[in-house]
Homo-oligomer: A and B are copies of this chain.
Amino acid sequence: MEDLTVEKTEWPKPGLMGFTVERVSALSDGVFAVAITLLVVSIAVPTIHGTVTNSKLAHGLAEIWPHFFSYFLSFIIIAMFWISHHALFSAIRRVDRTLIWINMLYLLLIVFMPYPTELLSLFGKTMVATVLYASVLAVAGILQAAMAFYATRGHRLVDDEFEMSQAGEYLRNSLLMSAVFIISIGIAFVSVTAAQFFWLTLFVIQLLERFVFGKKQRSKPAAEIQEAG
């Protein structure tokens, strides 16, 4: 991604009705923390008729296993989004109204996640629930890429030393996450189970990334690492 002439966001005197990266991060962390915790509310407690016995309870829990699966899946996916958000904001030095609004729409989708998660728990075998779940995450991934693009384009909201190659890598990863969900929507029209299995590709990508990222890091010249302290 080459560095074009983009009008950088300028700031009024600091502290006068300005915005701070810290509070945007703080609100985002709060929202992520609550959204990730509300997921547990969607796990139903098994209803047991008559005397409670171990076998009845075990049976009841076994029956609601899709709830545990949805909980686990949504937790890990939201965690992935949080890690990406964290990585992006660690590079951002300034925020402006446009970035805040893209971030807000992105958070709107993250906060919404407990709802499609609950639908997936209850109606997981339907195409409708599967497509809704995948759509929300696909759009979230696109908004994340949009944030990264907006913030780094022409070093608008990042340091001048920011390496644009990192932005390219970040965009690729965000859009790859979206792509997985968009493709799964297509698959869902044929087979809902296949679509849901396809989501696991995300974990494979994550592991591959780690492997590749790990290799790159190791090959960095020692001088640069020293200086990073």
Residue positions of A touching B, CB distance < 8 A: 10-20, 23-27, 29-41, 43, 45, 48, 52-54, 57-58, 61, 71-72, 75-76, 79, 82-83, 86-91, 93, 97, 100-101, 104, 107-108, 111-112, 114-115, 118-119, 122-123, 125-129, 132, 159, 161-163, 166, 170, 210, 213, 217, 220, 224-225, 227-228
Contacts and interface: CB of A to CB of B under 8 A. Distances in A.
Contacts of A43: 115
A13 B166 CA distance: 12
Contacts of A162: 16
B37 A108 contact: no
Contact of A30 (B20, B33, B108): B33
Given A11-B225, A15-B91, A83 B61 contact: no
A17 B89 CA distance: 8
Q: How many copies does the complex hold?
A: 4
Given A32-B30, A83-B100, A112-B71, A90 B58 contact: no
A34 B32 contact: no
Given A123-B48, A128-B58, A115 B17 contact: no
Contacts of A20: 86, 90
Given A10-B228, A38-B37, A23 B25 contact: yes
A54 B126 contact: yes
A55 to B, nearest CB: 9
Contacts of A90: 15-20, 23
A57 B111 contact: no
13 contacts: A14-B228, A15-B90, A15-B91, A19-B87, A26-B26, A27-B32, A31-B33, A53-B126, A54-B127, A54-B128, A57-B119, A57-B123, A97-B210
A13 B100 contact: no
Nearest to A224: B13
Contacts of A213: 97
A119 B11 contact: no
A168 to B, nearest CB: 11
Nearest to A31: B33
Contact of A15 (B101, B123, B159): B159
A16 B163 contact: yes
